[in-house]
Copies of this chain bind each other. A is one copy, B any other.
Amino acid sequence: MARRLLIHLAVKLQVDQAISNCNQCPVGMASHPDGSCPFVDRTRRAGELIFLQGDLAERVWFVKSGTVLLLRQGNEDLGEGRVRAVRFVGSFIGLESLVGDEYTDTARASTDAVLCGITKDKLDSWLGPPQAPARVALELSLRADSTDLPRLAQTDGSAVARVAAWLNTEGPRGVTLTLPRKVVADLLGMRPETLSRALASLAQSEAIAVSRNNLRILDDDKLREAAGVV
């Protein structure tokens, strides 16, 4: 399969040029004024794993050539997850490690690829002062993205499972849930009616207690179970 991918993507992405030297490389150019580029080349074969969702994120990568698939597993997802994005030349991979400890995706080279890696520590000093505007913006932006994560599980599992999963993460623990149903339904990728039914179903199994404007979590275990967490 790996080989196939290589060919496939190569065709589609013929426009993307590999980055071969630091003068063409955004990272290299950014490093230049102050010193040499702290990123270190590493090669991955097509199909090779780069990092695994949930692993301790201690390294960030920059794609110099090749194509990388980002996969994310939802709940109950036994396999490697679903491809949620494709990253090409010139993208960072694993940048989320700046605002969290774990990788939020699994990354796998789908073609032979050259990646530049850097440890979290070195990245930290490469990025410059923590309070510099651009860096503040970067981190806030990444943080906002990671808040969106639950939403990305939008198409995983049944409506009930998605709702349960959402309640597990975003959900108010012992607190009133009072976001308008319409908004929650949008975030979870379903219709308000479906959300309503899902909540009713969770209520019936005594995982939660709902009224029109109040929601309490009664049983975390049942909720997890409903979310498909094994």
Q: Do A178 and B8 contact each other (CB < 8 Å), given the known contacts A132-B128, A145-B145?
A: yes
Residues A11-69 near B (CB distance < 8 A)? 11-12, 26-27, 29-31, 33, 69
Chain B residues whose C-beta falls within 8 Å of the C-beta of A179 in the assembled complex: 8-9, 12
Per-position 1/0 for A126-165, Cβ under 8 A of B = 1110011111111011111101100100110000000000
Q: Which residue of B lies closest to A148 (CB)?
A: B85
Residue pair A136, B8 in contact (C-beta under 8 Å): no
Residue pair A137, B92 in contact (C-beta under 8 Å): yes
Instruction: Check if A197 is an interface residue, CB within 8 A of chain B.
Output: no
Per-position 1/0 for A79-93, Cβ under 8 A of B = 000111111001110
**Among candidates B134, B145, B183, residue contacting A127 with C-beta atoms closer than 8 Å:** B134
Residue pair A84, B8 in contact (C-beta under 8 Å): no
Binding site for B on A (CB under 8 A): 1, 4-5, 7-9, 11-12, 26-27, 29-31, 33, 69, 71, 82-87, 90-92, 95, 110, 126-128, 131-138, 140-145, 147-148, 151, 154-155, 172, 175-180, 182-183, 186-187, 189
A86-B187, A128-B132 given; name 17 further pairs at CB < 8 Å. A9-B179, A12-B175, A12-B177, A30-B131, A30-B132, A30-B133, A82-B186, A92-B137, A92-B144, A95-B137, A110-B183, A127-B134, A127-B137, A128-B133, A132-B132, A132-B134, A141-B141
